[in-house]
Structure 1
Amino acid sequence: MLIDGLQCGHFNRGVFEELRAGAVSCVTITGGFWQGCIESLDAITRWRDLARENADLVVLVRDAEDIDRARAEGKTAIIVGFQNTNLFDSRIRFVELFQDLGVRVVQLTYNNQNEYGGSCYEPEDSGLSRAGKVMVREMNEHGILIDLSHVGELTSQQVIEHSDKPVAITHANPASVIPHKRNKTDKTLALLKERRGIIGCASYRNICAPEHAESAEKWAEIVARTVDLVGIDHVGIGTDRSHGHTLADMHWMRMGRWTREIDYGAGSPENPGTTAPLDWFTEVRHIGRIPGALGNIGFSPDEVEAICFGNWRRVYGEVFPGGK
């Protein structure tokens, strides 16, 4: 069984069946990127409907114990997350309201700087703002896990230092292993380790190297290198797997409403469109190959359990309301 720290796209019963086939006991979904408050509320209501319609396969998470119950019942626990703070509409009291509605993971910034801090794609990272410090405290208080995957390096480091609870890089890789603006420096990862956080190693082709597409074992080498950097207790899985994404979806993720121009995000002019999954991960159920691949490259059964389940479960237990 495993926990996936981040997926996105269009979920339906077929995807849920694939997740079960891949032994995914918990996954954080992406409720939105650039969407404001009303659109985010719409996303939450859609997920409630979807969970009710597929109650035999999934359950929405409100506390960390829901993950254990879903695992015991053979279901997939769904954590509702958002990849930007736009859902709060610059209203600090909305953090508590969205937490009441079941939101449990929110990324501080997406691909652009906002009022709270800098982004990985800004040429200069402004760092954590005054409003950002207030936002970090508010998310800590109300049990929402702070995600730093697309956040700038300086801002990430300052969030880690300012947060009273562990934070997560839900879907990225070490930049010293795979150089890319979306991946994280050793300095940031060292701070993450010091403050009991976690990084979910990603399988998104644009932030992996070509050899990592060849087999699950080749991709698992990213995990091994990450463990070398931060230790076994601070590494998990965060595939960034997408479901049913079209070119229109990709344009929305990268450009939202903020620009008329083409923005390539983690891509490039040479690789401008939608990105194919890694060669060994062409079906969602293939995520189930990861535990075996980790074992094949030398991780012990206890280490595989920690990477695939236990480390995420520990962080969720420390952050989510009432968690243990």
Structure 2
Amino acid sequence: MLIDGLQCGHFTRETFEELRRGDVTCVTITAGFWEGTLESLDSIGRWRDLVRENADLVMLATTAEDIEEASRTGRTALVMGFQNSNLLEGRIRFVELFAELGVRVIQLTYNNQNELAGSCYETEDSGLARFGREVIDEMNRHGILVDLSHVGNRSTLDAVLHSKKPVAVTHANPDSLFSHKRNKTDDVLKALVDNGGVIGCATYRNITGDYYCSTVKAWAELVARTVDIAGIDHVAIGTDRSHNHTKPDYDWMRQGRWTRGIDYGAGSAARPGKVPPADWFKSVSDLNLIPGGLAEVGFSPEEVEKITSGNWLRVYREVFRKA
């Protein structure tokens, strides 16, 4: 089995066919960034239609058992996730309602501070707010995984310590291996271990770096060094792969409705737009190169299984159920 903790973009039948060619068992998709409640409901509806139209290739998953069923039936399981908490619009009861609609992953903040917590791009990280604690309690209660990928390090630590269930950094890397505001400091990763959580190592060039993007072996070295920090039971895959994005998509992801100016997100003025995928990762089907790359840098078959699927399945099995 091969599980990717985060992808985004405009999925099509061709995307699903590539996932199947890569023998990808499960992907957490991004159903929204800055969208509010009504727009998020529209997105869920569109995803349900898309899955229904491609039921021979994919299925929606709300439990670990669904992911195993997808594997048995030769399909890719799609876990529905949001990269922000705007879908709640400040209403605590909406956590349960979105859980009942099949949402299984919510990131507390995207690129800006919000009512819940601080973002990785703010000058000062405010920490987890009272509302953030309430939302985490509800997410724990109703089977939604707390995603901390774009959350500031202080707020991330607060969330890790507050959550009664494992949390995740679905798509980032250790800051000590590639320094970037989007990446996580070693103390955060060690706290994640104590919580039972997982970090999904990313392939997105802006937060991974050119060296680790050069070959699958080089990227596997990044994974190995992450394991040195967090341990074999807490490292997985979270590529942050995007599909069919154009400039308006990147503008929406980075600028939303909150600014009239230019924001580069994880990029910079030197790298303002779309960056090339990792050199070894030209097609999403190339995910099937990862087990071989991990073996090449010295991981045993049992360790490869944990990184490629077992660690995510453990977290999903514990989190994707009502408390």
- Counterpart position of 1:73: 73
Other-structure match for 2:238 = 238
Deviation per CA, 1:120-175: give whole Å up to 9, x if none. 00010000011111111011100100000000000000000000000000000000
SS at match of 1:213: coil
1:4-19 matched pairs, under 5 angstroms: 4-19=4-19
Counterpart secondary structure, 1:207: helix
1:212 partner SS: coil
Offset of 1:63 from its aligned partner?
1.5
C-alpha distance in 1 between matches for 2:154 and 2:5: 23
Task: Specify the alignment match of 1:264 in structure 2.
Answer: 264
The equivalent of 1:200 in structure 2 is 200
* 1:62 CA displacement: 1.9
Q: CA deviation at 1:212?
A: 1.4
Tell me what 1:124 maps to. Answer: 124
Report 1:43-54 matches (<5 A): 43-54=43-54
| Structure 1 residue 77: Cα displacement | 0.4
Counterpart secondary structure, 1:318: helix
Query: Which residue of structure 2 lines up, in the alignment, with residue 220 of structure 1?
Result: 220
Query: Partner of 2:57 in structure 1?
Result: 57
Query: What is the DSSP-based 3-state SS (H/G/I as helix, E as strand, rest coil) of the residue aligned with 1:289?
Result: helix
- Corresponding residue for 2:167? 167
Amino acid at match of 2:302: D
Q: Distance in 1 between matches of 2:68 and 2:189?
A: 28
Q: State the partner residue of 1:144.
A: 144
How much does 1:247 deviate? 1.1
- 1:228-250 Cα offsets, whole Å, 9 max, x none, are 00100000000000000111111
**Secondary structure of 2:280's partner?**
helix
Amino acid at match of 1:56: D
Shift of 1:284: 1.1
How far the C-alpha of 1:321 sits from its partner, in A, is: 1.5
Find the aligned partners of 1:259 and 1:132 in 2 and give their Cα distance: 24
Q: How far apart in 2 are the matches of 1:143 and 1:273? A: 36
**CA–CA distance in 1 between the matches of 2:62 and 2:105?**
11
Distance 1:292 1:23 in 2: 14
Paired residues in the alignment total 323
Could you tell me which runs of 5 or more consecutive residues in structure 1 were left unpaired when the two chains were aligned: none
Structure-2 residue corresponding to 1:42? 42
Name the counterpart of 2:86: 86
User: 3-state DSSP class of the match of 2:268?
Assistant: coil
| Aligned-residue RMSD, C-alpha | 0.9
- TM-score (structure 2 length as normaliser): 0.99
Task: Report the secondary structure of 1:250's partner residue.
Answer: helix
Q: Secondary structure at the match of 2:131?
A: helix
CA distance in 2, matches of 1:311, 1:71: 16
Gaps of 5+ in 2: none
Q: Is the 8 A contact 2:201 2:236 kept in 1?
A: yes
Q: CA deviation at 1:61?
A: 0.8
Distance 2:319 2:267 in 1: 33
Looking at structure 1, the residues matched to 221 and 39 of structure 2 have their Cα atoms a distance apart, in angstroms, of 39
Contact kept, 8 Å, 2:141 with 2:322, in 1: the verdict is no
Aligned counterparts of 2:189 and 2:291: Cα–Cα separation in 1: 23
The ranges of structure 1 where at least 4 consecutive aligned residues each deviate by more than 3 angstroms after the TM superposition are: none
Measured after TM superposition, the shift of residue 64 of structure 1 is 1.5
Which residue is 1:23 aligned to? 23
Cα shift at 1:322: 6.0
Indicate conservation of the 8 Å contact 1:204/1:239, yes or no.
Answer: yes
Q: Deviations over 1:176-226 (max 9, x none)?
A: 010000000000000000110000000000001211122100111110000
| Contact 1:63-1:322 at 8 Å conserved across structures | no
SS at match of 2:258: coil
Contact 2:60 2:79 (C-alpha < 8 Å) held by counterparts: yes
Residue 105 of structure 1 aligns to a residue whose secondary structure is: strand
SS of residue in 1 equivalent to 2:80: strand
